[in-house]
Structure formats: structure tokens, C-alpha cells
Amino acid sequence: MYTVIVILILVVSVLLGLVVLVQNSKGGGLISNFGSANQMMGVRQTTDFLEKATWTMAIILVVLCLMSSMSIKTGVSGSVQDSQMREQIELNTPAVPAPTADAPAE
């Protein structure tokens, strides 16, 4: 499940990047020279669609990221790396001598 979510995150990220690159900047750029032609061809509807697509993909990306963090397998035993790290720590930890019951008398 985690792998599927990660693949979806990559696809949505690429699509989001492409949609953002297609949009016009706030300054207008080259499009400001052709302002009257834009109204005639219906470019305003295109920008509305691109803005809605951007917000939709951003929300989908956030939801997928949250789902991926929840789908990581953790539990009582933890992941494989956690168990290997615990074993390594146990092997390298020196044995501590138990305290003796005989205390020196003063």
C-alpha cells in the first residue's frame, strides 16, 4: 500500500509542477500585450481551470502525504531496521555487574 501511495505522490507532484508552469505569472508577462485577444478566445476560463486544477492537486498531494505517513508499518515490534538496531545495541552493551549484598561496615 505504501508503495502505491508513493507512486501516486510522484505522479501528482509532476502534474502539479506542469500545471504551475503552464499558468501565467501575476505580472502578466507576454500575455499583457494581447489582453483584448484573450477575452475573445476565452482564456479567462482556461486560467480558472488551471487555478482549480492547481488547488485540487495540492490538496490531493497533502492527503496522499498524510496517508503515506499513516501507512508506514509500525507496531509493537517496529520496522526491520529498528529491530536490527536493537539487536546491535544489545550485543554491544557491556554487562553491568550486579551490586553485592555485602556492604562494608563502618
State the pLDDT at residue 98.
Answer: 60
Instruction: Look at residue 52 and give its three-state secondary structure.
Output: helix
pLDDT tens string, the chain, 106 residues long: the values are 888 999 999 999 999 999 888 887 665 544 555 555 555 555 566 778 888 889 999 999 999 999 888 888 654 445 566 667 777 777 776 656 666 666 565 5
Nearest to 22 by CA among 2, 51, 1: 51
State the pLDDT at residue 30.
Answer: 44
Assessment of whether the complete model's pTM goes beyond 0.75: no
Instruction: Look at residue 44 and give its three-state secondary structure.
Output: helix
State the pLDDT at residue 93.
Answer: 62
For residues 29 and 85, is the Cβ–Cβ distance under 8 A? Answer: no
Residues 6+ apart with CB under 8 A from 2: 68, 71, 72, 73
